[in-house]
């Protein structure tokens, strides 16, 4: 997915090749292509829109830097925003870009406390603001332990599994790059990922409610056990 995103972004930057300066027109054209690339990479629409709006605002605010070519400036701005956006590598985990690959819970809590102090807002208000901007979601993970033979069979068969429907939803995108990932039109998703070192299957899901999330997790566990009707 990330290789395809990199290729798409590189093609987007070619719009600015040969341009003498940043303008609202060429930035808008570039950001339209960047947003499309992010959506194709399964980035939430609201997140992609806010991302491109931020880059556009920064680009137009820096158009006085005539010594920097427009293409180079855009690459830097997009890179910086991507680094901030993708600081959390694993869905449901909290990571800080350019800090450390593992999760640092103490630092994450300190940053959250600092945000509450600076905004003078309680945690509940900050959560409400986040959900107002990007919608309410519920993430969950289950670790399913199987017999060694069953786990090996699942690893062998999973690349050929292409469910037509899960919980009444038709997958819009099916990826076998790292287990089985099903993405749905409403931005919910399900991931079934067998461990490569132990007979454990990790099932991840995100829905718009706890009930929807749990229904997807149940389906993922059933897929891993081979009991879900395909």
Span 33-49, pLDDT tens digits: 888 888 877 778 888 88
pLDDT at 211: 96
Summarised one tens digit per residue, pLDDT across range 47-75 is 888 888 888 888 877 654 555 577 777 78
Give the Cα separation of 26 and 34 in Å (integer). 12
What are 109's two structure tokens?
């809590």
Average pLDDT, the chain: 82
pLDDT at 20: 62
Q: Distances from the Cα of 76 to the Cαs of 22, 24, 176, in angstroms?
A: 14, 18, 32
Report whether pLDDT(91) > 50: no
Entry pTM: 0.58
163: CB partners within 8 A, 6+ apart: 171, 174, 182, 223, 228, 230
Q: Which residues pair with 206 in a beta bridge?
A: 139, 189
Report whether pLDDT(90) > 50: no
Quick check: 174 and 103 in contact, CB under 8 A? no
Report whether pLDDT(187) > 70: yes
pLDDT at 68: 58
């Amino acid at each position: 997915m990330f290789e395809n995103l990199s290729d798409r972004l590189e093609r987007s930057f070619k719009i600015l090749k040969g341009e003498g300066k940043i303008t609202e027109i060429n930035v808008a054209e570039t950001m339209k292509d960047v947003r499309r690339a992010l959506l194709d990479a399964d980035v939430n629409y609201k997140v992609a829109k806010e991302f491109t709006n931020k880059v556009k605002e920064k680009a137009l605010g820096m158009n006085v830097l005539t010594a920097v070519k427009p293409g180079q400036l855009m690459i830097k701005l997009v890179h910086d925003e991507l680094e901030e956006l993708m600081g959390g590598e694993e869905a449901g985990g909290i990571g800080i870009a350019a800090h450390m690959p593992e999760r640092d819970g103490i630092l994450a809590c300190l940053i959250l406390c600092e945000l509450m102090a600076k905004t003078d807002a309680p945690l509940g208000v900050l959560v409400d603001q986040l959900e107002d901007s990007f919608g309410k979601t519920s993430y969950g993970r289950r670790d399913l332990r199987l017999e060694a033979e069953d786990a090996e069979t699942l690893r062998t068969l999973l690349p050929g599994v292409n469910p037509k429907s899960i919980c009444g939803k038709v997958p819009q995108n099916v990826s076998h790059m790292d287990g089985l990932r099903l993405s749905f039109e409403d931005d919910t998703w399900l991931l079934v990922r067998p461990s490569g070192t132990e007979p454990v299957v990790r099932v991840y899901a995100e829905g718009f409610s706890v009930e929807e999330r749990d229904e997807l997790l149940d389906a993922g566990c059933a897929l891993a056990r081979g009991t879900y009707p395909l």
